[in-house]
Amino acid sequence: MIRQIYEKNGGNDMMDQLVIGILAHVDAGKTTLTEAMLYTSGQLRKLGRVDHGDAFLDTDEQERRRGITIFSKQALLPLPTAEVTILDTPGHVDFSGEMERTLQVLDGAVLVVSAAAGVQAHTLTVWRLLRQWGIPVFLFVNKMDAPGVDRAALLAQLREKLDGGCVDFSAGEESLWEEAATGSEAALGEYLDTGRLSRDTLCRLIARREIFPCWFGSALKLQGVEELLTGLEEYAPRPAYPAEFSARVFKISRDGQGQRLTFLKVTGGVLHVKDVLTGTSAGEAWEEKADQLRRYSGEKFKSLEEAPAGTVCAVTGLTRTFPGQGLGAAEDAPPPSLTPALSYRLYLPEEVDPALAMGKLRQLEEEDPLLRLLWNERLREIHVQLMGEIQLEILRELIERRFGWAVTFGTGSIVYRETIANTVEGVGHYEPLRHYAEVRLLLEPGERGSGLAFRSLCPEDDLDRSWQRLILTHLMEKPHLGVLTGSPITDMRITLTAGRGHLKHTEGGDFRQATYRAVRQ
Ligand code: GDP
Ligand code: MG
């Protein structure tokens, strides 16, 4: 049986490392499917149930009580030739910040669609993000045990609403070859010549997102789960990594003892315990030691001596890291495309000093990229910006549990944004006595929802590369406010076209001033 094969191979350090995310609309059955995958592969002796509050991955107290996943979690799943890290991500839109940043480290994704509900609006949001990050997708149509489901109609819906390249992989090899072959010309040639498609060809089509394999089943009844596992084993892309060390931070959280955990994926070379890591956060360079490397599965972890490329682990001892940060040879990732939509005033109990509280609450902001805390110095008020009411409720409980403050919130208001209707140039000069900097920017309107994109087209002969990078950093380091309503600007592309410094009179901060002025103009 497949269980025994999996058990024999568990824990081999030489195996390929794969990071697979489980994504879906809330209630489609992600957590149940993850449990079923772990159980089928012999990692769990007993099947937990979200409905009974004992799911392996819903470890947080609020998650167990509400029966929903709030924080992304990981589990280890050994397949015969690869060790898979499964990341179970939250499905509710309120927590899509968690989801979006885990996308940064995925080698592939399992998208769960409920047969009872079909493709939902959130499924489309997830699909768009998966496309944006170029992630190969395996589809699992869950809840096929529900009455009245129609498999052919569901496949047709996937093809129409998601992508014409959705191929039923449970239908048998002959028909899957035929369907997959229409995905590309080369594959069609191979099919016509040989009457089949090799495993390599299928892997390549999947890795390039030309086809999307689909399985149908029921996580609750353990139907189709083994086929999905075999499919991942056979077809999930096996990335090759460079020898130079690099890593991507995708999440910050705290363990039961309050220790700060930096979750990262090693994307090149090897990370050893006690390695000294360097990075730049908020414009300042730092150097810190990786005290402990933890490989989590559910609530438990194993300490690692070293983490080779492809591994996801939690590192202790780092205090300055942030989600999206690149360490070693990796660059920082672009900021998330989703941004909080609602704003609420936060009321603290009277005996708590708001300025002091703000310092502590920053911890939570660091852990959730779609939570923003604003401090109004003049009114001594704290405002929170987030995605919706569920997130607000979770935040209230989290603050109570972690800091012991019973907080309340005012009525919500919408967080407005500003953009431009037309292309415009902005020029900023900064030249008080013995200072000099000039920055020219081209601002172009972008697609709705695209956020801000930055680049430079300035020749290096005109302005040194290091100054150019500094200007781009200043563009990215804070939200810039528009001039119409004072709301943060969004949906535009900002290009550095020219800039000038002075050999003697330009100092580090001068370009910051000139950059801000160019945007404002
Ligand atoms: P998540 O929000 O995507 O993590 O979904 P959960 O795993 O929490 O499941 C949501 C609900 O759907 C729970 O009540 C599950 O018991 C139920 N469920 C999950 N998988 C199946 C399935 O295959 N068939 C049926 N009928 N119900 C399922
Ligand atoms: Mg869940």
pLDDT at 25: 81
DSSP state of 331: P
Q: How many CB atoms lie within 10 A of CB 290?
A: 22
Q: Is the CB of 99 under 6 A from ligand 1?
A: no
CA of residue 218 to ligand 1 center, whole Å: 9
Those residues of the chain that have pLDDT short of 50 are 1-13
pLDDT at 308: 94
The rounded distance, in Å, linking the Cα atoms of 517 and 426 is 8
CA of residue 408 to ligand 2 center, whole Å: 27
pLDDT at 374: 87
CA of residue 99 to ligand 2 center, whole Å: 12
pLDDT at 159: 96
Q: What are phi and psi of 408, to 5 degrees?
A: -130, 170
Atom of ligand 1 nearest to the CA of 112: 3
pLDDT at 7: 39
Q: Is the CB of 143 under 6 A from ligand 1?
A: yes
CA of residue 373 to ligand 2 center, whole Å: 27
Nearest ligand atom owner, CA of 72:
2
- The residue among 262, 273, 367 whose CA lies nearest residue 325 is 262
pLDDT at 487: 85
Q: Which residues fall inside 5 Å of ion ligand 2, going by CB?
A: 30-31, 69
Dihedral of CA atoms 58, 64, 69, 75 in degrees, nearest 10, equals 0
The rounded distance, in Å, linking the Cα atoms of 408 and 395 is 10
pLDDT in tens, 18-29: 999 998 887 889
Site to probe by mutation for ligand 1, drawn from 23, 25, 50 as the one with most ligand atoms within 8 Å of Cβ, is 50
pLDDT at 442: 97
Does residue 165 sit in helix, strand or coil? coil
Average predicted confidence (pLDDT) for the chain: 86
The rounded distance, in Å, linking the Cα atoms of 395 and 407 is 10
pLDDT at 9: 40
pLDDT at 337: 62
